[in-house]
């Protein structure tokens, strides 16, 4: 058994709690003992991206005290893990002790598929999901952490699942945090293209590792009552 800490992002905590529970199921199936600190809150990324670095620093300091730098931290969001890894040094620059701890912690935090495939060396969790799906590469996962093959390796081992690659699978879905609010028309057009490509491929689900992307995609789908759905990778892997 491997002890891990679970970090649940805001979007999953507030909008997709069932996905958070499925992450626990998946990690336990993979042989992990899951530790969850209920005192954890936002990692601070929304504040950082909006220019509120002082507020982001307060949340970063809390994150650093909520988690043990010497035990793996696993999260179903490369956006949040990528932020912690690559940006925390900017908002913690005046706290030498936390900067030193961050040097250890940034090597201990992983997105779910990355952890399963590259750390635990597990690709088959015994899941069954008899549907045609396509995969949407979230910008943070692909461009910030180089996560591309890992979720596809996991999906390829799901019984009954047919993975169909669509054109522009690496193109942004249009969410981009506050971009979707400040540029709603452009965001909607980007989500539309993503969904129409999936419909043209004849799939029933758009899979991603990022709940924020899925929120944007499902928002477009629900608005237009389309026969397709966005789903988190963890929700598929938990179907065993």
Q: What is the predicted pLDDT for the residue at 173?
A: 75
Q: What is the predicted pLDDT for the residue at 77?
A: 96
DSSP line for 112-168: HHHIIIIIS-------B--SEEEE---HIIIIIH--SHHHHHHHHTSBT-EE---TT
Query: Same structural domain for residues 143 and 232?
Result: yes
Query: Same structural domain for residues 103 and 161?
Result: no
Q: Which residues in the chain land under pLDDT 50?
A: none
Listed residue (43, 68, 38) closest to 57, CA to CA: 43
Give the integer Cα–Cα distance in Å for 85 and 80. 9
Given 88, 118, 148, which residue is the final one in a domain?
118
Given 103, 118, 133, which residue is the final one in a domain?
118
Query: Same structural domain for residues 71 and 112?
Result: yes
Total domains in the chain come to: 2
Q: What is the predicted pLDDT for the residue at 69?
A: 96
Report CA 79 to chain centroid distance, whole Å.
6
Q: Which structural domain, as residue segments, surrounds residue 167? A: 125-237
């Amino acid at each position: 058994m491997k002890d891990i800490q679970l970090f649940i992002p805001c979007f999953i905590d507030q909008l997709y709690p069932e996905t958070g529970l499925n992450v626990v199921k998946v990690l336990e199936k993979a042989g992990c003992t899951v530790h969850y600190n209920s005192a954890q809150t936002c990692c601070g990324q929304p504040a950082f991206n909006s220019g509120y670095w002082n507020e982001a620093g307060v949340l970063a300091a809390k994150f650093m005290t909520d988690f043990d730098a010497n035990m793996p931290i696993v999260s179903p969001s490369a956006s949040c893990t990528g932020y912690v890894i690559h940006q925390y040094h900017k908002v913690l620059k005046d706290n030498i002790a936390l900067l030193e701890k961050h040097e250890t912690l940034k090597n201990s935090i992983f997105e779910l598929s990355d952890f399963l495939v590259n750390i635990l060396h597990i690709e088959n969790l015994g899941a069954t999901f008899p549907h045609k799906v396509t995969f949407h590469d979230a910008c943070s996962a692909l461009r910030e952490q180089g996560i591309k093959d890992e979720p596809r390796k996991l999906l390829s081992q799901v019984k009954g699942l047919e993975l169909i690659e669509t054109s522009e699978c690496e193109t942004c879905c249009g969410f981009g945090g506050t971009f979707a609010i400040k540029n709603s028309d452009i965001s909607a057009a980007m989500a539309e293209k993503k969904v129409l490509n999936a419909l043209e491929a004849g799939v029933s689900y758009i899979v991603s590792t990022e709940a924020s992307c899925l929120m944007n995609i499902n928002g477009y789908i629900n608005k237009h009552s389309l026969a397709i759905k966005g789903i988190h990778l963890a929700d598929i892997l938990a179907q065993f």
